Structure 1
């Protein structure tokens, strides 16, 4: 009897370990799926799990650095806005509003639009332009800091075979803010 309990316990441990490995493999797959395709130099299928984890860690590090850079830019904008409210300067140094930044991530696009409170462009027109050029808006947000409005739009390619012509999107956005 003791022997069968021991064997049963051993099988339970094997099952628990197998389930743990399956769960870890699934988590690694989910992590790798969050990293944009263009970040991988080779196909994800050709890379070992360890290589995929290292690339994901590198991608996260780049995102963290980007967040820090954007925080510094935002803080500079806030400082400049505070300065402008005291009458010293009315614009961010070297920056004329509105400003459009477009980042192409292969399967996704990020649009950052900085405008003044007095610029009356229609936000839905930006979303319509993205949609008409083959991108589906996933999220859109804005924040107002002083007299500036920061819009951020994330979109992904609707049909991966066709893609999105970012230069055309850029031209349309320039037309809208002009």
Structure 2
């Protein structure tokens, strides 16, 4: 009886071992199918397949780490980026014949400062001084300008309104056309009076 039981145990062990080997072959095939060299015509030996899988996994881990590092650095750049959008603000004070213009902008809309300087130059308003400073994500510009005698009595408010309209975008084409029409009408009246 002992002989029969030992022989059936041996058969069972062989059967279990055979199933284990078949299961391992299936797993190796699945692992090999995930490798980028899977479609190559030459079949690698089992130890080489495992080495290839290990190297491929290490390569993927390095790529994931590199991408995560890049993502973190981009997040950090976004948090401290000087180009974040800040709405421009302007405040204009009239002091006798002087205009004090305080302009606050983000770094992405610095063109507003240059446009204001250009506008003042076109209106024959002399820029006396400009102080600019940076605070976090903003630029502060303080412009001191001298209003000419021609603009002193009636033009300072108009210049102020046009600058605010330029910064805040509230000056419509209709307002500009109305101003132009009013100026043309005033010139026509002056011509009639001269005649």
TM-score bracket, shorter-length normalisation: 0.3 to 0.5
Which of the two has higher C-alpha Rg? 2
Q: Which has the higher helix share?
A: 2
Could you state the TM-score of these two structures normalised by the residue count of structure 2? 0.40
Could you state the TM-score of these two structures normalised by the residue count of structure 1? 0.44
Structure ranking higher on relative contact order (CA contacts 8 Å, 6+ apart): 1
